[in-house]
Structures are given as structure tokens and as C-alpha cells.
Homo-oligomer: A and B are copies of this chain.
Amino acid sequence: MHITILGGGGFLGRKLAARLSETGTLAGETISSLTLFDMAPPPAPEKAPFPVRCLTGDVADPQALGEAIPPETRVVFQLAAVVSAAAEADFDLGVRVNLQGSLALIEVARRCGVPPRIVFTSSVASFSGDQSTVMADDARQMPLNSYGAEKAAAELMLQDASRRGMLDAVNIRLPTVIVRPGRPNKAASSFVSAILREPLLGLETSLPVDEAFALWVSSPRVVVGWLLKAAEMDTSALGTDRGINPPGLTVTVGEMLAALSPAERALVKSEPDPVVAGIVGGWPARFAATRALALGFQPQVGLAEILQAFREDDLAQTRAERGH
């Protein structure tokens, strides 16, 4: 089967491509070829047992997308996105990539021989709530940011296209994925990975919220497992509702800091930032995820597993890139 990853050069796209390249199969079928599509040339996974095409283009351009999704494509992972801080800074860019990109995907997917499975990565940022809210599976999406609004709107259209049989979408609303490699950035969520990653690199970092602050998180390893599950599952169990709140983990900042050694812990400096606290305070920290568990999505077990995944998968390369 042919598989395409849109946003295949990103954080999760690379990890997903690597996993597909290790297994060589999906849903019990041999992967015949893989297309990676991104703005900049996406790197091919090492030692893939199938041919890999690496294409560049804009996901909102139906012509470029048509090349990335040949008619025999059976699964499309739609990970291409302008993330929250960038979509907030540039409304037009966010609408184009996060919403028009998915409308272009519907246009292209309709030309496939068999309606392809679309695994669309939506986000917890499409919900709003507070520290005490437990989001039910049928909670409405009331986003407080443009990124979340665009994701929720794209979900609606992919869901409708599924009802019509044009494609077969699973809209999976990912938690904050930690530990993200790279450098701290201007995203309000930057600190969530930084308070673990920076101390592990021996670097100081600042904490803008208090230790009781809770978050809904998952590791990239577990997320890749969910993406594969969403690609392989029988969607007839979903009916009209194509949205999945996967079983992430609620952790407090205090628990995250307690997972560090005393010396690492000392590198995290409390610097309350009301602006950041205000933004992240509107992200729900708890989801029931009842439906996903019943469907067999594996829960994110614990913080230890998240740190272990980072140590095994990303720490060495992050050290090399950052020179620490």
C-alpha cells in the first residue's frame, strides 16, 4: 500500500516515517511506497524497506498535493500545520495551512481509487477549559486561539467528507507532546518541554507557572502508536463522530520537576509570567478519553516513560545539535 505523510519533515512526521520504515507494514499489509511532503525537503528515513519520495510544496495547493497523493494512496497522515503561536501571529497563514490545506486534501482524496484513510492531527487547543474541567468525549470545541478554531473547522469538514464516503477520516486531538527536542521558542507551551529538556542538557530554564499547574501530555512514541492505530482501526465503530480524544496523561509541573535529579531541578528558575499563565490556563488538563480507551488506543502510562523515550530517542541528537 502507498502511504503519504503531509508535514513529513516535522517533529512527529519524522518519527512516524521512521516507525513505518522499521515495521514495513501497516494494518497487516506491506507498505509498497511512502511519500513525504513538506515545505522544505523532508529527510527520508534510514534503511526504509520501500521506496521513499521526498516532495516539497504547500499543502494548500491542490496541484502540489495531488502529486503527493497519487490515486493509489491508501493512507494519508495529515500532520502539516502552522502551530499555535505562528497561527496567532499570522491569521491568513493559519487559515491557509490549517483550514484550506484540509479542504485541498478533501479535493485530492476524492480522486483516489478507494476513499483513503486520513489521519488528521487535531489538538487539545481546539477545546477550552480550566484546571478543574474533565473534558467529556462529546464536549464542544470552543477554541480560544486561531489554531484551535482552524483545526476544529477542518475536523468538521473531514468528518462530513467521511460521512459522504469521499474519504475515511480519523480526527485525533493530540495532547501537548513532550519532550520536544530543539530550543525554547516563543510558543506559550514552550516551557512544558523546556523544563525537562534544558536541565537534561545541563542548561538553566524558567518556569512561568506555579508547580500545581496541570497539563495534558503524551510522548512522541505513544503519539506515533496512536497515529498507527488511527490508520489501522475499523472506522465503522465511529459512526458520524470522527473525533478521538486519545488517552494522554495529566501531570503537574511539580510532578515533572520531581522526575529530575536535584542538580537538574536546581536549573529550573521560577519566573511567574501572567501572560503565559493566562494562555495555558485555558487549556484543559484532563480528558475522560473513554471512547478512545474502548477503541483500544493505548494510554500514556507515566512521566518516567516520557523521560525514558526522550533519553533513548532524542537526547543524544539534541545534545549534538545544541553543542551541550
Residues of A whose CB lies within 8 Å of any CB of B are 91, 95, 99, 103, 128, 138-146, 149-150, 152-154, 156-157, 159-161, 163-164, 166, 240-241
Report whether B157 and A156 are in contact in the complex, using a CB–CB cutoff of 8 Å. no
Q: A163 — nearest CB in chain B belongs to which residue?
A: B144
Known: A128-B240, A140-B139, A240-B144. A91 touches B164 (CB 8 A): yes
In the bound complex, CA of A143 to CA of B128 (Å): 21
Report whether B142 and A240 are in contact in the complex, using a CB–CB cutoff of 8 Å. yes
Q: Which of chain B's residues have a CB closer than 8 A to the CB of A142?
A: 138, 240-241
Majority SS at the chain A contact face: helix
Partner of A156, one of B149, B159, B161: B149
Ordered nearest first, which 3 A-B pairs have the shortest CB separation? A140-B140, A149-B160, A153-B153
Report whether B164 and A157 are in contact in the complex, using a CB–CB cutoff of 8 Å. no
Known: A139-B140, A144-B163. A95 touches B157 (CB 8 A): yes
In the bound complex, CA of A240 to CA of B149 (Å): 12
In the bound complex, CA of A243 to CA of B286 (Å): 25
Q: Which of chain B's residues have a CB closer than 8 A to the CB of A141?
A: 140, 156
Further pairs besides A91-B166, A140-B140, A149-B156: 15, Cβ < 8 Å: A91-B161, A99-B103, A99-B157, A138-B142, A139-B140, A141-B156, A143-B156, A144-B163, A144-B240, A146-B160, A149-B157, A150-B160, A153-B153, A153-B156, A153-B157
In the bound complex, CA of A144 to CA of B150 (Å): 20
Q: A95 — nearest CB in chain B belongs to which residue?
A: B103
Q: A96 — nearest CB in chain B belongs to which residue?
A: B103
Q: Which of chain B's residues have a CB closer than 8 A to the CB of A139?
A: 140
In the bound complex, CA of A184 to CA of B109 (Å): 36
In the bound complex, CA of A57 to CA of B170 (Å): 37
Distance in Å from the Cβ of A107 to the closest Cβ of chain B? Answer: 8
- Sample of 7 A–B contacts (CB below 8 Å): A91-B164, A141-B156, A143-B156, A145-B160, A149-B157, A150-B157, A150-B160
Report whether B138 and A140 are in contact in the complex, using a CB–CB cutoff of 8 Å. yes
Name which of A153, A156, A164 has the most chain B CB atoms within 10 A of its CB.
A156
Q: Which of chain B's residues have a CB closer than 8 A to the CB of A146?
A: 160, 164
Q: A141 — nearest CB in chain B belongs to which residue?
A: B140
Report whether A156 and B160 are in contact in the complex, using a CB–CB cutoff of 8 Å. no
Q: A107 — nearest CB in chain B belongs to which residue?
A: B92
Name which of A91, A138, A144, A161 has the most chain B CB atoms within 10 A of its CB.
A91
In the bound complex, CA of A164 to CA of B145 (Å): 9
Name which of A91, A145, A157, A160 has the most chain B CB atoms within 10 A of its CB.
A160
Partner of A152, one of B91, B156, B161: B156
Report whether A160 and B143 are in contact in the complex, using a CB–CB cutoff of 8 Å. yes
Q: Which of chain B's residues have a CB closer than 8 A to the CB of A149?
A: 156-157, 159-160
Q: Which of chain B's residues have a CB closer than 8 A to the CB of A153?
A: 99, 153-154, 156-157
Distance in Å from the Cβ of A323 to the closest Cβ of chain B? Answer: 39
In the bound complex, CA of A157 to CA of B240 (Å): 22
Q: Which of chain B's residues have a CB closer than 8 A to the CB of A145?
A: 160
In the bound complex, CA of A150 to CA of B156 (Å): 8
